[in-house]
Chains A and B, each alone.
Chain A
Amino acid sequence: MKKAHDLLVGPPPYIFNRQSTPSIIWGTVAALSPALAWGLYSFGISAAAPVLASLLAAAAAEGAVCLVTKRFTLWDGSAVLTGLLVSLAMPPGVPLYVPVISAAFAVVVVKGIFGGLGSNWMNPALGGVAFAILNWPQEMRTWILPRQLDGTTAVSGATPLGLIQSRLITAGSDASSLLGAGGMPITYADTMATGALNQGLFSRLGAELPSGYIDLLIGNRTGTLGELSGLLILAASVFIISRKFIRWQIPASMIGSFTLLVWIFGGLPFGRGFLAGDVLFALLNGSLLLVAFFMAPDPVTSPSSRWGMLAFGFGAGSLTFLLRQFGSSSEGTTFAVLIMNCFTPLLDRPRGLGRRGAPQET
């Protein structure tokens, strides 16, 4: 019989939950792959270039940080996740130096300098995206029509949100006319699905779904590589929430508060008064779903208490609405979440430090 001396001896506990930090991070990477695949399908294989460039740059940057800190941390997957998220927020056809520099910035400056995984206060991916938006505004606003819409992947003018932003549309602003003005025809799939839904379901409820929304849900629209398909992101969200990679509070309160504000105030610019905002259009355009499920709930940079998470999501959703409605850019999720990152320590301990009679820090 074997002697026991070579057995592992150490402090309890002696069994662990299956989930480890690397498995959570790699699992999140896996959950993003359907959205990525849809982006690659929509924009052609050339759209893989910014993704690969971003991943390689993030991995190389992590490698460089490892050399300095003398801790090998590439296996934990956080650099790969950051690189992937940065590339998913890029427009297709973006010049490769944009994702490369942004991903490297995210890994080295936003995460590495603050002490690596777990020590950064700002979400690395969003930090990288913000860096790109501020440095290369033009490159970050050049859109391509997906192949489902014209088959040639020609350069297009704007995203649906951009159209609203530039006030091109002021009247008759239903989804189909908005999409039409952006050069995005309604697809056959949308016509069929909308028709079937209206006949089978909505007519009985006395409602009607205008055409265009199914296209938005599937992801037949312009946008960044990863944000197109709300459907695939929602499917992935079911996976990551059921596996407990993230908790539901932040996405729920972020999407909820945003939806509420859009519904109440979203109709005003179009002269439709209060309580007339186009909620579905606002939710299914832009990066809201991607950010709400994959970036805002990043545990490192968001609160972990229940009320803290709800407050964080509420703040992020409200700021997104304000930035979209009144900001200079059509998109607001990135900066909304980054601003909320600053509040994380406060939201986790709303009473502040030292209020329970603890001695002051020395």
Chain B
Amino acid sequence: MRSIRTFRHGGIRTEGEDTWIPRHPVQSAFLPNRAVVLLKQHSGSPARCVVRRGEYIREGMVIGRANGNFSGNVHAPVPGIVKEIRATLLPDGGEAEAVVIALEGSFDRLGRRLERYVWSSMSRSDMLQTINERGVIETEPPGRPVFDILRQRARTDLLVLNAIESEPFLKTETALFLDKANEVIDAMGILRKLLEPARMVIAVDSPEIEKAALEAASLAAAGASSLPSIEILHLERKYPQDLDGQLLDAIEGPRRRAKAEFLTIRPTTAFAIFEAIVLAKPMLERYVTVGGKSVKRPAVLKARIGTSIGDLLAECGGFQGRPARLLVGGPFRGIAAYDLEAPITKTTTAILALSDSEVGRLRRSPCIRCGRCARACPEGLDPNRLYRFLGKGRSVEASLEGLGQCTLCGSCGYICPSRVPLVAAFSTAERGSAGARMAK
């Protein structure tokens, strides 16, 4: 039996998450009657709105133009009339400008067979421009535009297709990969042309994905696409295996961790690249996991950007019992939503309605210095010590202890039997230090 690799330090194995298998092929969700399309779905500044109220827009038309670095184009996910352009509440309580489109008229893409473009003759800059034009961004927060990521790279030693679900409960990457393995492998070919990596690896942590990846890779190798050998690495299922540092640690070992120039990419992002270049399709829809015990019929759905999370929940049968938590994203790095009207964006990986038993006991008690947090920390920090420093306002000492290395993965907070709000303190501190840097 092969030894299954993983990162060296810390990490957690969660228990009690639901174990349903996403249906294959993934179904499309109902089209939204009113699509609320945020103009900021990416890490940079909001896109500039280029439509007016009352205007009729077609499916896939640009409605927001990228505005500076790490900003991205925003397209109309459905055809219709621009009802209003207004500030909308985000799931986390923030505000952003959104274009509200009332569904109307006919579809240019839906239901039509799409022509496949042969990309092998495209130049590097053409491909990059296409990716930029189609508004392709990373499919998880913070949503860095793929154009900006690729453009800056001079050298890539290692390209990793990160087919590991980022958090427990999520099935998004799995569902996409089982559906679209061939397309994802094609996207690897596109990236190979763009980056010329020395090594390409598909990191998986489930046998199903490994099987699908093997089949697709051998199919591609047999075909004319002349892909280099893609290694498939089966890593242990341990959170947070998907983070860049931990992934590289598992693949290359800790010594090479600092040196290697590497890029990780998610299957969903790779698929968006494939669609942009081969099908000339902007990012209009995405795979979303609707899960948790408080959802009647958990599923992975292909949803148009701008669909409300309430609509997706309703399509999955609505709530079952009273949900203890409603989350956009995963249970570790997602955000607690308080508005069912909040729209799906390009970075919405999941909507989770968790039951009390899945959440677990919340009540705080005093720290008993058990050391579980330090053993769980994948960065080898001592969260309890950092927390005590921050509690006393001694942020300099906290930084010296390595606060800057914290990835906010949440392992310490999950494992803490006393429910000390470690992660909240660290994220506040990191926001504070980011603010301090901006001020300088």
Interface residues of A (CB under 8 A from B): 1-5, 7-24, 73, 76, 116-119, 299-300, 304-305, 356-359
Chain B residue with the shortest CB-CB distance to A11: B424
Report if B105 contacts A (CB, 8 A). Answer: no
A3 to B374, CA, bound (A): 38
Report if B325 contacts A (CB, 8 A). Answer: yes
Contact present for B354 and A304 (CB under 8 Å): no
The answer to whether residues A304 and B359 also contact, given A1-B314, A4-B339, A13-B410 and a CB cut-off of 8 A, is no
Contact present for B368 and A118 (CB under 8 Å): yes
Chain B residue with the shortest CB-CB distance to A115: B366
Report if B193 contacts A (CB, 8 A). Answer: no
A358 to B392, CA, bound (A): 14
User: For residue A9, which residues in chain B have a CB less than 8 angstroms away from its CB?
Assistant: 336-338
Contact present for A24 and B332 (CB under 8 Å): no
User: For residue B337, which residues in chain A have a CB less than 8 angstroms away from its CB?
Assistant: 4, 7, 9
10 further A-B contacts with Cβ under 8 Å, apart from A7-B326, A12-B334, A357-B400, are: A4-B338, A5-B338, A12-B332, A12-B336, A14-B331, A15-B16, A16-B362, A17-B415, A23-B361, A300-B368
Chain B residue with the shortest CB-CB distance to A17: B415
Chain B at the A interface: SS class: loop
A12 to B310, CA, bound (A): 21
A selection of 17 A-B contacts at a CB cut-off of 8 Å is A7-B337, A8-B325, A8-B336, A11-B424, A12-B336, A15-B332, A15-B414, A17-B15, A18-B16, A20-B365, A20-B418, A21-B417, A118-B367, A118-B418, A304-B374, A305-B374, A358-B400
Shortest B220–chain A CB gap in Å is 38
Shortest B342–chain A CB gap in Å is 9
| Pairs A-B, 10 closest by C-beta atoms | A304-B371, A11-B424, A118-B366, A16-B360, A13-B410, A299-B370, A15-B331, A9-B336, A14-B331, A21-B365
From A2, A21, A356, B368 is in contact (CB under 8 Å) with A21
Contact present for A13 and B365 (CB under 8 Å): no
Contact present for B323 and A7 (CB under 8 Å): yes
Interface centre among B354, B368, B396 (most CB of A within 10 A): B368
Q: Chain B 348-390, CB within 8 Å of chain A: the 1/0 string? A: 0000101000111111011111110010000000000000000
Report if B313 contacts A (CB, 8 A). Answer: yes
From A11, A23, A116, A356, B423 is in contact (CB under 8 Å) with A11
Enumerate B405-424 residues with CB–CB distance to A below 8 Å.
Answer: 408, 410, 413-419, 421, 423-424
User: For residue A8, which residues in chain B have a CB less than 8 angstroms away from its CB?
Assistant: 324-325, 336, 362
Shortest B273–chain A CB gap in Å is 29
Report if B228 contacts A (CB, 8 A). Answer: no
Chain A at the B interface: SS class: loop
Interface centre among B354, B360, B362 (most CB of A within 10 A): B360
The answer to whether residues A1 and B417 also contact, given A21-B365, A299-B368 and a CB cut-off of 8 A, is no
Contact present for A14 and B325 (CB under 8 Å): yes
Report if B119 contacts A (CB, 8 A). Answer: no
Shortest B65–chain A CB gap in Å is 33
A24 to B416, CA, bound (A): 12
The answer to whether residues A116 and B413 also contact, given A14-B334, A15-B331, A356-B400 and a CB cut-off of 8 A, is no
Interface centre among B362, B365, B416, B421 (most CB of A within 10 A): B365
The answer to whether residues A304 and B332 also contact, given A2-B319, A21-B417 and a CB cut-off of 8 A, is no
Contact present for B366 and A117 (CB under 8 Å): yes
Shortest A343–chain B CB gap in Å is 14
Shortest B21–chain A CB gap in Å is 20
Chain B residue with the shortest CB-CB distance to A246: B370
Report if B28 contacts A (CB, 8 A). Answer: no
User: For residue A357, which residues in chain B have a CB less than 8 angstroms away from its CB?
Assistant: 400
A116 to B366, CA, bound (A): 8
User: For residue B197, which residues in chain A have a CB less than 8 angstroms away from its CB?
Assistant: none
The answer to whether residues A15 and B418 also contact, given A1-B340, A118-B366 and a CB cut-off of 8 A, is no
Contact present for B371 and A305 (CB under 8 Å): yes
A8 to B294, CA, bound (A): 14
Interface centre among A3, A20, A21, A305 (most CB of B within 10 A): A21
Interface centre among B358, B416, B427 (most CB of A within 10 A): B416
The answer to whether residues A1 and B424 also contact, given A9-B336, A19-B417, A118-B369 and a CB cut-off of 8 A, is no
User: For residue B370, which residues in chain A have a CB less than 8 angstroms away from its CB?
Assistant: 24, 299, 304
Report if B168 contacts A (CB, 8 A). Answer: yes
The answer to whether residues A12 and B410 also contact, given A1-B314, A20-B361, A116-B366 and a CB cut-off of 8 A, is yes
Contact present for B369 and A304 (CB under 8 Å): yes
User: For residue A116, which residues in chain B have a CB less than 8 angstroms away from its CB?
Assistant: 366
Chain A residue with the shortest CB-CB distance to B385: A349
User: For residue B257, which residues in chain A have a CB less than 8 angstroms away from its CB?
Assistant: none
Shortest A200–chain B CB gap in Å is 37
Contact present for B361 and A16 (CB under 8 Å): yes
From A3, A13, A119, B340 is in contact (CB under 8 Å) with A3
Shortest A196–chain B CB gap in Å is 40
Contact present for A15 and B338 (CB under 8 Å): no
A19 to B417, CA, bound (A): 6
Report if B67 contacts A (CB, 8 A). Answer: no
Contact present for A117 and B338 (CB under 8 Å): no
Contact present for B368 and A117 (CB under 8 Å): yes
The answer to whether residues A1 and B413 also contact, given A14-B336, A116-B366, A358-B396 and a CB cut-off of 8 A, is no
A357 to B399, CA, bound (A): 11
Contact present for B427 and A11 (CB under 8 Å): yes
User: For residue B83, which residues in chain A have a CB less than 8 angstroms away from its CB?
Assistant: none
A76 to B361, CA, bound (A): 13
Chain A residue with the shortest CB-CB distance to B341: A4
A357 to B12, CA, bound (A): 31
Contact present for B310 and A1 (CB under 8 Å): yes
Contact present for B419 and A16 (CB under 8 Å): yes
Report if B229 contacts A (CB, 8 A). Answer: no
Enumerate B294-313 residues with CB–CB distance to A below 8 Å.
Answer: 310, 313
Contact present for B424 and A18 (CB under 8 Å): no
A300 to B340, CA, bound (A): 43
The answer to whether residues A359 and B371 also contact, given A5-B338, A17-B360 and a CB cut-off of 8 A, is no
